[in-house]
Amino acid sequence: MPELPEVEITARLIGAAITGAQVESVLTPGINALRSFDPPLNAIEGTTVTGVGRRGKLFVIDFDDRLHMLIHLMSAGRLQLFDTCASLRDRTSRLLLRLTDGRELRLREFGTKQAAWVKLLTDEGLAAEETLTTLGPEAYPDPPLLRPLLDAPRPLHALLRDQRVIAGIGRSWVDEILWAAKLSPFKRGADLDAEEAERLRAATIEQLGRAIAHYEQVITLPIPDKLPMPLMVHRRNGEPCPRCGDRLEAVFYEDYVMCYCPTDQTDGKLLKDRRLSRLLK
Ligand SMILES: [Zn+2]
């Protein structure tokens, strides 16, 4: 599941590789991932890539001619750069951006859902794009003070994943951040004191920075289908906590799992496993 660190490393590597390259053609095979109609997609044919950036969990690819491509990978997308062009029969391909030097940038999507999307926008369109205008401040590298940001009667686990509150954190890295900050996922944002909020901010910078530094060491183009996420807590329930050695626990939800260390985060209390309690009803 691509979150801020995964999108950041992808944007850095692909940006360094294709900035200055010229677009030959663009295709959207299969179910159309394109969610915009004006300007038309072929408006970027013949333009030059001027940069690849990240906003929250989204990519923004800039082209000369004041055009921008916004890409959201959703839960199972990947942006990958290859030296040759794909077979159009590759069912994972959602967008193929062919460069005049023979390379190809691909938006691919794995799994059954086809949710990843692309928009081609002008300068004005980008400035007005709601997906971006509603984003909260970036979680990395320098998030603002969290105490006013998280001042809501909602659990931290939900608040930190809410892109309107703070941008870039999802289901994997939220577990690492809360564990590093020694805070319960169910603690309400409004109940954080100033010291806890500062600890959480430091943990956010540290964990996302740790992930990006790890990827800088191990990831190369074309960007692997599955990134080796250096997670210490998420989906490691049943294993010993890397800090205190106690058993990591989990709460299962319909489509995700929340992992934590009871000793470090919840005063030893086990949080209610909703899946289990539903089964037992
Ligand atoms: Zn622990």
CA of 250 to the centre of ligand 1 (A): 13
CA of 267 to the centre of ligand 1 (A): 10
CA of 47 to the centre of ligand 1 (A): 52
What is the residue-level pLDDT of the chain in tens, covering all 281 positions? 799 999 999 999 999 999 999 999 999 987 789 999 999 999 999 999 999 999 999 999 999 999 999 999 999 999 999 998 877 677 899 999 999 999 999 999 998 888 999 999 999 999 999 999 999 999 999 999 999 999 999 999 999 999 999 999 999 999 999 999 999 999 999 999 999 999 999 999 999 999 999 999 999 999 999 999 999 999 999 999 999 999 999 999 988 899 999 999 999 999 886 655 555 44
CA of 166 to the centre of ligand 1 (A): 26
CA-nearest of 197, 200, 131 to 167 is: 131
| Count of helices and strands (H, E) across the chain | 9, 10
CA of 109 to the centre of ligand 1 (A): 35
The secondary structure of 193-254 as a DSSP string is: -HHHHHHHHHHHHHHHHHHHHHHHHH--TT--SS-----SSTT-TTSBPTTT-PBPEEEE-S
pTM: 0.95
* C-alpha to C-alpha distance for 236 and 118, rounded to whole angstroms: 33
* C-alpha to C-alpha distance for 279 and 281, rounded to whole angstroms: 6
